[in-house]
Each structure stands twice: as C-alpha cells, then as structure tokens.
Structure 1
Amino acid sequence: MNDTANPQPVKALLGAGEIRRLAAELDLRPTKTLGQNFVIDGNTIRRIVAAAAINEDETVLEVGPGLGSLTLGLLDAAARVVAVEIDPVLAAKLPQTIAQWRPERTGSCDVVLADAMRITELPAQPTALVANLPYNVAVPVVLHLLERFPSLRHGLVMVQDEVADRLAAPPGSKTYGVPSVKAAWYSQMRKAGVIGMNVFWPAPKIASGLVRFERHDPPATTATRQEVFAVIDAAFAQRRKTLRAALAGWAGGAVLAEQALVRAGVDPSARGEVLDIRAFARIAEAKNPLSA
C-alpha cells in the first residue's frame, strides 16, 4: 500500500500577463502616490503566504490588495480575507477577479474601500495581517493597525528592504530607531527574507523585505503608550545627543531629564539607540516621581 498522500493541485495565481490584462481593462496606470507595485510572480505569492504561517481558520487582513494577486493566495490558505483598498476602481474590480479565479471563495472576502490609516472597524476581527505595503506609509500603517486591532496576533508584511531592516533592528544596531522601538511595544519583529525587484510590475528601484511579527504584551508600566512614544520620539529626534540633552525638552530641562533617567536606572550619558522598549517605558514612568 502506498502511504504517500496525493499532492493537492497547485491553484493558478495571477501572472504578468493576467496583471497587465487587468490593468488594461481598467485603464490603470500604477502611481507612485499610492505605491502601486503589483506582484506578477505566483511563486513569490506562495512564498509570502507560506512565510506568513496562516491557519485555515484565520481571518486575514490585507492592506492594498491592488489587482488581487496576493488576495487569491490568501484565500487559498485562510478562512476569510478582509481586503482594505484605497483605490475605488481596484476595490470594485477585486470581487470580479475573485469570482473568476476562485468562484468557490466569493463569499469569503470582504472588500473595504478605505484608507488603512483611517480605519477604526472592520466587518470581521482579523487574526493576521499579510500585506504588500506602499513604501511611503508602511511603518505608520503597521503601527496603526497593531494599535487599533488587538485581535491581530501575527503577520507578515512586505516593505522596502531598508524599512524591513529598521522594523526588525535590535537595540545598538545601526538601523535601530523609532520604527524599531515602537514596533517592539506591540510585537517581536523578525526579517523573513528579501524579494527582488523583477517580480513586480512596475518594477521598483529597490528590493523589498519581508518582516514577520508575533504580538506580545506591552511592557508592564504605569505610563501610557502615548507617554512612552513621546519619550521615544524625543530620544531619536537628534540621534547624536545624549539622553540627558535629547530629553531636555520633553522633561522641562536637562536637569529634570537627568533626574528622570537616574530614577529609571538609565545612564544619562547614553544615547537612545542602545535602549530597548522596557527602558523607554521606565523613563516615561519616571518623569513623575510619584509614579516611579
């Protein structure tokens, strides 16, 4: 008896020809303003979906589905997809594309016409975020979604490779900065690979990076997220300054900044680039001696 299971047939995904045909039907000319670079390689879509480690019972939030290449791959893996699209032409076309390519899944995708930076509610609570994000808004979109939708437990985003390095950077590294620290408030971010330029249409001038994240609880602190983020912004506003100098404006003077740093157990002569999210939370908490 042969115990080898029959492999499941590989479902077709949109390729370069299909993407260009859809664009021609819509008289679509991809714009840099909306960061429209469409994936035209099925194997890249399969790689992204596999790296996202989606369970078949999950609801996936996709931002910027575009012409639907990634959407189809996500529908093959997840129970439901909520696709948020800012372009009304693309949002209107996506259900038609799903009906043609995945007719059995037409009821499993909610298309939301909206700006991802402004959404506050969705038709279903997403458990995972998987998206090819426009380079110019990738970080604020990720931070907004993690803040607004605590149901997001994990995900994978494709961003500019340099941004991927920043999101996943550890304290003390050259690329560690505001995106790294703020992302660490919500989750553990790890770089999961690099995607070349030739799998997109139009091809971008730089490579893309995959960043995988797993949500964790924020640091235990009496300070609010807004208070902690204010410290982070001040600490990195002038990277070469010591924390005593960089936080002077935030604290109301260099002396008060030093006092808060000492209470938090942080060297006033250190720089923000060496501190992790827990240290920033301690500093925010120590600004008020009564709460330290």
Structure 2
Amino acid sequence: MRRIAAELDLRPTKQWGQNFVIDPNTIRRIVQAADVTADEHVLEIGPGLGSLTLGLLDAAAAVTAVEIDPVTAARLPRTAAEFRPGAEDALAVLHADAMTLSEQALAEVRPAAAGGPTALVANLPYNVAVPVLLHALAVLPGLRHGLVMVQEEVADRLAAGPGSKVYGVPSAKAAWYADVRKAGTIGTQVFWPAPRIHSGLVAFTRREPPAGGASRREVFAVVDAAFAQRRKTLRAALASWAGSPQAAEDALVAAGVDPRARGEALDIAAFARIAEHGPRRAAEEVSA
C-alpha cells in the first residue's frame, strides 16, 4: 500500500477521510466478521488503495468499489490485476460520491453476470459515515447485511438501543432498516496515517421496517424532532412537529406513548406509531 501511494504521489486528505488499512490481519478480521459468502456481490465504499478490496475479492464472487478520489479509483483495477491475477474481472470500480449512489449507477458498472450487491463492507470515511450508510440502506434495498468500520464513538451510537446515553438519531434511523450491533474495536496503528482515535466495527442485518402506515420520511421527521431537544419531554419536543404541545400529546397518547417520556426511551416502532398518529395523518382521516 505504501509503495502504491508513493507511486501515485498520494498524500491522504482529511477532506475525503483517507486513513488506509495497511495491516493484513485486520483485513482478514474484517472480511471474516462480515460473513461474506462465495456467491455474493459485495459493495465497498471508499476502497482507497485497495487493501480491503483484495480481501473481499478472495471471499466474494464480485466486488463493486465506489471511490470519490479519481487517482485511487483509476489505480484500483491495476492493483487487483497485480495482486489478484485472474480475479480482476470480478471487480468493478465506480468513480463517484457515495452520497449520489443509486441502483442504476451500480448496474451500469457492475461486473459481468453479477446481480445487485447483497452485502456492504467498507472502511467508511469518519466525517460522512452515518449519512453514507443510511443513504446506501435507503437506495439499495437488496443489501441484506454488511459490516462497516467507523469512528468508535459513531459505532457505539449506531448500535445503541433505547435507554442508552448514546442512543439518538443515528441509532433510531439505522434501526428502521436493520438489526445493528457492534462487532469489535480496531486500534489506530493498523492505519496509514494513524488516526488519533480507535475505530469500531458495526454489523447489520436487514429486516422489514416497523409495521404501520407511516412512511420513512414521516417517521424520520418525528425522530429528528424528538432528539433536537432531547432533554425535553416528548410533549414539548414534538410541539413544533405536531403544531402545538396539545396536538403532540394527542398523537403520543394515540400511539400509546407517555407524553412525559423522552426520545431516548423509544424504539423505532414507537416512533413509527407516533408518525402514524401525527397531525397531517389525522387531518387526512377527517377529510376522508
């Protein structure tokens, strides 16, 4: 990895969150924890110099790597051909911002005979890890499971459950899509350059969203409002969302939620029930 970086005259940038994994044992650990099967098509976001990409090519039928850096994106196919001869045809590289990712964009570049990706395995840039993960889950319903490496604090938040001090917006929104758990901690010295803080592995398994008639957008609006003022009771925190404190209380009571509770006590199913009894939906029922 260092030789390739020197060849490219590459200087890792904070803008793209470039901290490259240079320890082969860590790569093996990530691939094993991801539980990728030999018939799967894996999506990797932010492959960088390709160390994890090579490990994924060993384990999966196909890999599509999405990379924002034009220099490393252009070098990746040659890296695969050099270090995994014969497997380079199983790799496709999409030079793009992961926040613009779509099924159509992936279909245009994916390896021959590969269907859509079923697993996400990635060392995500610290500064955009949560929005990138949530975007991928939203636009790629075929992703059944995955493992991402993020800042350890972010890993704790994503995997937190109701009642935890770090449970919040990322926890609730991730739970809309999947069962999420923390799968380990990674030290700093396996990266180049070495970050100042540890990383965490987050594993997820897709499941159906909570039952009910509220859309994801409607439920996420409730989540955002509940945690915007997390020290306030839900009756107060949801007042703007509902139109008034009394309207918020009515929606909460109808959803079977104590108006004196706080957002950190609710799971995603409770947020979905609140959204289902929100003021707009109530107005629609009256007009119907």
Instruction: Please give the per-residue CA displacement for 1:113-154, whole angstroms capped at 9, x wherever unaligned.
Output: 000001113134100000000011000001000010000000
Report what 1:53 is aligned to. 35
- Alignment of 1:109 with 2:91, yes or no, is yes
Match of 1:14 in 2: none
Match of 2:215 in 1: 224
* 1:271 alignment counterpart: 262
Give the total of aligned pairs. Answer: 274
| 2:34 partner letter | A
Q: Which residue of 2 aligns with 1:6?
A: none
The match for 2:113 is: none
- In the other structure, the counterpart of 2:24 is 42
The aligned counterpart of 2:242 is 251
Between the aligned partners of 2:220 and 2:246, the Cα distance in structure 1 is 21
Tell me the distance in 1 between the aligned counterparts of 2:45 and 2:148: 10
The question of 1:238 aligning with 2:220 is answered: no
Alignment of 1:136-285 (within 5 A): 136-285=127-276
1:51 to partner: Cα distance: 0.1
TM-score normalised over the length of structure 1:
0.93
Which whole-Å CA distance do the structure 1 matches of 2:80 and 2:44 have between them? Answer: 14
User: 1:20, CA displacement in angstroms?
Assistant: 1.3
SS of residue matched to 2:101: coil
- Work out which of the residue numbers 33, 47, 60 in structure 2 matches 1:65: 47
CA RMSD of aligned residues (A): 1.0
> 1:285 touches 1:291 (CA, 8 Å); kept in 2?
no
Partner residue of 1:80?
Answer: 62
Aligned counterparts of 1:260 and 1:131: Cα–Cα separation in 2:
39
Matched-pair identity in %: 71
- Whole-Å separation in 1 of the counterparts to 2:154 and 2:275: 26
TM-score normalised to structure 2 length: 0.94
The alignment status of 1:30 with 2:21, answered yes or no, reads no
Aligned to 2:120: 129
Consecutive unaligned residues of structure 1, counting only runs of 5 or more, are: 1-18
- Other structure's SS at 1:198 match: coil
Unaligned runs of 5+ residues in structure 2 are: 111-115
4+ residue runs of structure 1 moved beyond 2 angstroms? 288-292
Letter in 1 for 2:145: H
> 1:291: how far off?
5.5
1:233-265 Cα deviation digits (max 9, x unpaired): 000001100000000000001110001101001
